[in-house]
Amino acid sequence: MEKLNRNTWKESKKYPVKVLQFGEGNFLRAFVNWQIDKMNKETDFNGGVVVAQPIEFGLIDKLNEQEGLYTLFLQGIKNEEAVREHSVIDCINYGINPYANYDQLLEVTENPELRFIISNTTEAGITFEENDRLSDSPQKSFPGKLTALLYHRFNTFAGAEDKGFVILPCELIDRNGEKLKEIVLKYIELWNLELGFKEWVLQSNTFCCTLVDRIVTGYPRDTIDEITTELGYKDELVVVGEQFHLWVIEGPQWISDEFPTNQAGLNVKVVNDMTPYRTRKVRILNGAHTAMTPVCYLYGLDTVGDSMKDEVTRDFIERLIFDEIIPTLDLPEEELKSFASAVLERFMNPYVNHYLLSIALNSMSKFKTRDLPTLIEYHGRTGELPRRLVFSLSALIALYKGKRDSEEINLQDDDHVMELYSSLWKDYDGSEDRIREIVTTVLAYEKNWELDLTIIPGLTDMVTEFLVKIERSGMKVAIKDVTKISLGN
C-alpha cells in the first residue's frame, strides 16, 4: 500500500507561503491547519504554511516524507447528528528542524509574503531563558527564536513598516500574546538591540491573545489498521479531533480581512476583549465538567457520555448550566445559551470516552478556579446560593472519602489536600455533628480556597445538609432533592 504524498494524492495543491508555524503536533494540525485548509478552498486566502519544529526532536521528518499532507478525522455531534468524516489537509508546504538547519528558518522570514506567525509550543514554551543569545542557532526558547527571526526580518527589509507580522500564539495560558510580547522585549533588552528595532516590533507587529477550543485525541493507535484499510493509503500522521471548534482572537478587526475565517464559515471571533469568552469557557465547559464529576461518579457512572444518557444526571447538568452558571455571565443570553447547547452536544459525543476520574484529578483546585467564582457571583447577584453547585461541592467532599459504595477510588491531588481529607474522614462516626465538622474544616481551608468560605451566609449549613443526605441515603436518593425528578424506583 502506498504512502500518502503529493504523488499519490493528486488533488493536493501548493500555496504561496503566508504562515510560519511553530509546532507540528496534533492540535495545530487538527485546529489551525484545518482552518487554513478551509480558507484556501472556500475563500481567496491562498496561503501555504511552513512548519518549524520548536524542539530538537519531533515529527518534521515524517511530515516532510508525506510532503506536508496528512488525514484529519473529525467525529462528534454536528447539526444534532453523530458525524464521522475525514479529509486530506494540504496547506503545509514543508517543515523545518531549526536544530538541523537554522539558516533555512531564517530564510523563511525573507519572504515578503509571509504575514502570520502561529505557535503552540505547550504552556512551558512561552518562557524566558536567560542564557539564550542572538548568536545561537537556534535559541533554546520559542520567544528567543521569535526575537531572532523578527530581528532578521527587520534587517532584511530595513525596518519597513508593512513587513511586520500578525502573531497568534495558541498556547493554553491566559493572555498568551501579551506574555509572549513581554518576553520578546526582554530579549531585545538583554541582547542590547537598537531602539529602532524595538519600535518596529511594537508598531509594525500585532501580538494577539487567543483562546482555542477543540478536543483533539491525536493519532488513533488502537484503530490505525482499520483506518488504513478504509483510506487505501498509509498515513503516519493521521489525527483525530471533535467536530466542535472555537478560536477567539483578541485584536483589531482588520485581522478578519487578512485572515478570512468568517468567509469560510469558521467559528472564529476577532474581539476587542477576549476575557468574557475565556470566562464563558472556564465556567460553562470546565465548570460543568468539574461540578458534574463527583455527582455523576458517586451516582454510579464512569464517563461524561454515560452521565448525559441518564435522565437524572443529564437534567442536573443542564439545569446547573442554564439556571446557575449562565446567570452569572455578562455576554448576551442567546450567545451563552448557544455555547451551552454546543457544550452539551460535546458531552454527548459518542466517539469520545471521557472518564470522570480523569476529570477528577486535582478537583479541589479545579473547583476553586472553575466553580467557586460562579457560586460567589450567583450569591452576590441573587442573595441566594446555587443549590446544584452547592450540592456538587458536598459531593466533592464525599468523593474525597475515597470510596464509591465498597469500591476504593484512586484519587489524585496535592499531598496537603489528600492529607486533609484523610485526617477528616478517618474519624468519621456517622454523626451529623462530625459531618458539620468536616464541612466547616474544608470550607475554612484557605490554603486551597484563598479565603474562608464559611463567611458566605448559609453555605456551611447547605453543604452540611446535602452531605448528610449523600452519606445516609446515597447519591441516587440525595440528588432527588436537587433535581426534583422522580427516579421511578
Chosen domain end from 231, 252, 271: 271
Q: Is the confidence at residue 269, as pLDDT, over 80?
A: yes
Domain match, 258 and 282 both: no
Is residue 9 situated within a structural domain?
no
**pLDDT for the residue numbered 277:** 95
**pLDDT for the residue numbered 63:** 98
pLDDT tens column, 81-129:
889 999 999 999 999 999 999 999 999 999 999 999 999 997 678 999 9
pLDDT band, very low/low/confident/very high, at 488 (cuts 50, 70, 90): very low
Q: Which amino acid does the sequence have at 339?
A: F
Domain match, 359 and 427 both: yes
pLDDT tens column, 296-335:
999 999 999 999 999 999 999 999 999 999 999 999 999 9
Domain match, 331 and 197 both: no
Domain match, 93 and 186 both: yes
Domain count, the chain: 2
Is residue 131 situated within a structural domain?
yes
| Residue positions forming the annotated binding site for NAD(+) | 19-30
**pLDDT for the residue numbered 427:** 86
Is residue 12 situated within a structural domain?
no
Domain match, 199 and 217 both: yes
Is residue 345 situated within a structural domain?
yes
Domain match, 37 and 186 both: yes
**pLDDT for the residue numbered 172:** 87
Is residue 212 situated within a structural domain?
yes
pLDDT tens column, 23-56:
999 999 999 999 999 999 999 999 999 999 998 9
Domain match, 325 and 251 both: no
pLDDT tens column, 121-178:
976 789 999 999 999 999 999 999 999 999 999 999 999 999 999 999 999 889 999 9
Is residue 341 situated within a structural domain?
yes
Q: Is the confidence at residue 266, as pLDDT, over 60?
A: yes
Is residue 6 situated within a structural domain?
no
**pLDDT for the residue numbered 485:** 45
How far is Cα 355 from Cα 333, in angstroms, rounded to an integer?
Answer: 30
Chosen domain end from 227, 246, 271: 271
CATH of the domain at 349: 1.10.1040.10
CATH of the domain at 81: 3.40.50.720
Average pLDDT of the chain to the nearest whole number: 95
**pLDDT for the residue numbered 124:** 75
pLDDT tens column, 55-75:
898 999 999 999 999 999 999
pLDDT tens column, 359-391:
999 999 999 999 999 999 999 999 999 999 999
How far is Cα 467 from Cα 399, in angstroms, rounded to an integer?
Answer: 10
Structural domain harbouring 175: 17-271
Domain match, 265 and 280 both: no
Is residue 1 situated within a structural domain?
no
Other CB atoms within a 10 A radius of the CB of residue 486 amount to 8
Domain match, 63 and 133 both: yes
Domain match, 58 and 198 both: yes
Domain match, 76 and 177 both: yes
* Total residues found in the chain within this entry: 489
Domain match, 293 and 266 both: no
How far is Cα 286 from Cα 366, in angstroms, rounded to an integer?
Answer: 9
Chosen domain end from 229, 248, 271: 271
